[in-house]
Amino acid sequence: MTASTPAHSLPLDGQGILELAARSMFHLFSDISQGMFLVDRTGRIVWLNEGYKRFLPALGFSSVDQFLGHMVEDVVPNTQMRRVLDTGKPVLIDLLTNRAGTFVVSRIPLRDDKSGELIGAIGIVLFDHPETTLQPLIHKFANLQRDLDDARRELATQRRNKYTLASFVGGSAAAVEVKRQARRAALSSSPVLLLGETGTGKELLAHAIHAASARAAGPLISVNIAAVPDTLLEAEFFGVAPGAFTGADRKGRDGKFKLADGGTLFLDEIGDMPPSLQPKLLRALQEGEIEPLGSNKLIPFDARVIAATSRDLATLVREGKFREDLFYRLNVLPIRVPALRERRTDIPALVEVLTEDMALRSGTAPPEVGPDALALLAAQNWRGNIRELRNVLEQAAMRSDSQRIDVADLEEVLRESGVRRIAPPLQLAEPAERSPASVLRPLAQQVAELERQAIASAMAATGNNKLAAAKLLGISRAKLYERLDQMSEFQAVS
């Protein structure tokens, strides 16, 4: 090796390269930073570079010698260097504001390369005047924040109430009673259990109860238990911890209970809940806390639960297919949603609303449904309830060559469905062609006969609902009971 050959030009071992790299990086940071200083293990400032000298006047010092030897917290207001020395952990990016200005800084602990003992720390001023230097980054962050706010607003809109109690169409006694019970349920925070056949409007009522409750400003989260595979239900309900299993999201995923925090959780088709998950659901409802899949940490939640089912839960309990304690936990405020055949007098109003919605979706005028067609619709059993009624109306409208749905269109759809007997349109019976002798009976007898026929037709049209039949006939319920008693006595005598 000649005198002119640098020592580091010869091959170096790993340790030699590391030492050179450390020196090189130190000088690089010193050159490119806006300022840099070193403190020892006690926090005393022992060195600063040329760049940092320009901050000294603002900090109250006229020379480097005056600055060196002071404890860092005594001469650099608001510094977090002491925390770095106490914890041994770096603060890679931070904002520091003091008399000298506002800076983006980094604080890095220094350790002995052999013992690993903490020997001091380095403070680096990465940027001064960050409002100018970091403007592109700040602008990008602002755009990302705006996009996030827009996404949150859109999500909140999607989770906003679709329906209110006014959306539950009908003025029949059964419909009025359901809405009364729903209003009372909205005043409470206890679980609600909606019972009724499929297609009766249970989900609509869940939305309406939430909208009328004190939680209306919070989210309404729905999950259809029958539509989610059993193996995924636990994750759907309670969420997944980060890295819970192979392929799981590294950030984890919130479950429906957590998403519904501060609002309402609607559990549709609760009767299809698998037995293995029922104890966990019961515990969540009782304790107000959940345990995400793959985690041992309990997370509290605050959500009002509304459950719905088209199955007979009491029977499932007796058969051992549904936990009795879970049933009692859910069955605090039960509301039975009546079948459509129990409120036939609501069919004209429902048809009007459904046809208007059909027209809105298709961009056409709503089809007209005549009195005879309405009477035919009122005569059906509607095993699929309002959902089935809508389907029949949509099919009939598609088949009609005009903007009118008549009896022939409906009969064709009903016949092809093959699931029910088509009853003729319900109407007040007209007396058959009479002989002169029958016409010459006393007027009171003929009026009484017509009255009996009218009452029988009204009772058939309303599914023997006396209050609805009385409204259909335009008489009081007491008057209807009186006439029914008279009809019973007449039948007994005759």
The CATH number linked to 228 is 3.40.50.300
Domain presence at residue 172: yes
Give domain status of residue 222, yes or no: yes
Whether 269 and 306 share a structural domain:
yes
The verdict on 118 and 34 lying in the same domain is yes
Read out DSSP for 115-168? T--EEEEEEEEEEESHHHHTHHHHHHHHHHHHHHHHHHHHHHHHTS----GGGS
Two tokens, residue 208: 């309406």
Specify the pLDDT at position 84: 92
CB–CB of 191/284 below 8 Å?
A: no
Mean pLDDT over residues 419-429, rounded?
49
- Same domain? For 209 and 295 the reply is yes
The position carrying tokens 């403007």 is 135
Q: pLDDT tens for residues 370-410?
A: 888 888 888 888 989 999 999 999 999 888 888 888 888 88
Q: Among 303, 338, 373, which residue terminates a domain? A: 338
471: CATH: 1.10.10
296 with 332, same domain?
Answer: yes
129/118 Cα distance (integer angstroms): 32
Does residue 44 register a pLDDT over 90?
Answer: yes
For residue range 157-182, what is the model confidence (pLDDT) as tens digits?
555 567 888 889 988 899 999 999 99
Q: Find tokens 């059964």 and name the residue.
A: 174
Closest-CA residue to 397 (of 359, 446, 450, 440): 359
Mean pLDDT of the chain: 83
Task: Give the pLDDT band of residue 1 (cuts 50, 70, 90).
Answer: very low
Domain boundary among 282, 309, 338: 338
What is d(CA 413, CA 421) in angstroms, rounded to the nearest whole number? Answer: 12
Tell me what pLDDT residue 390 has.
94
Cβ 229 vs Cβ 283: under 8 Å: no
Cα–Cα distance measured from residue 346 to residue 361, given in angstroms and rounded to the nearest whole number: 23
Last residue of a domain, one of 367, 383, 417: 417
pTM of the prediction?
0.57
Same domain (yes/no): 272, 196: yes
110 & 174 share domain: no
Question: Rounded to whole angstroms, what are the CA distances from 320 to 275, 310, 334, 418?
Answer: 9, 18, 21, 35
Burial class (CB in 10 A: 0-12, 13-18, 19+), 74: exposed
- Same-domain pairing of 319 and 405: no
- Identify the CATH number of the domain in which residue 96 sits: 3.30.450.20
Q: How many other CB atoms are there within 10 angstroms of residue 271's CB atom?
A: 20
On whether residue 150 sits in a domain, the answer given is no
Q: How far is CA 24 from CA 27, 46, 113, in A?
A: 5, 20, 16
Q: Report CA 195 to chain centroid distance, whole Å.
A: 21
Q: Is 192 inside a domain boundary?
A: yes
Specify the number of domains making up the chain.
4
Judge if 83 and 222 occupy the same domain: no
Domain identity same for 114 and 171: no
Residue 152 resides in a domain:
no
Q: Is the pLDDT of residue 320 over 70?
A: yes
Asked if residue 138 is part of any domain, the answer here is no
Residue 422 lies in a domain: no
Which pLDDT value is given to residue 490?
56
* CA triple 184-171-173, angle to 5 deg: 70
What percent of the chain shows pLDDT beyond 70? 82
Same domain, 287 and 302: yes
Domain that holds residue 224: 165-242+253-338
Same-domain status, 333 and 355: no
pLDDT at 16 (0 to 100): 73
Q: Would the pLDDT of 205 be above 50? A: yes
**361 and 333 co-located in one domain:** no
Residue 142 identity: A
**Would the pLDDT of 433 be above 80?**
no
Is the pLDDT confidence value at 356 over 50?
yes
- Rounded-to-integer distance, Cα 229 and Cα 404, Å: 43
Kindly state whether residue 444 falls inside one of the protein's structural domains: yes
Residue 75 C-beta-side C-alpha neighbours within 13 Å = 22
Q: How far is CA 344 from the centre of its chain?
A: 33
For residue 7, CA distances in Å to 2, 20, 28, 293 come to 10, 11, 21, 59
Q: What is the pLDDT of residues 455-493, one digit of tens each?
A: 877 777 666 777 777 776 777 777 887 778 777 665 554
- What pLDDT score was predicted for residue 113? 77
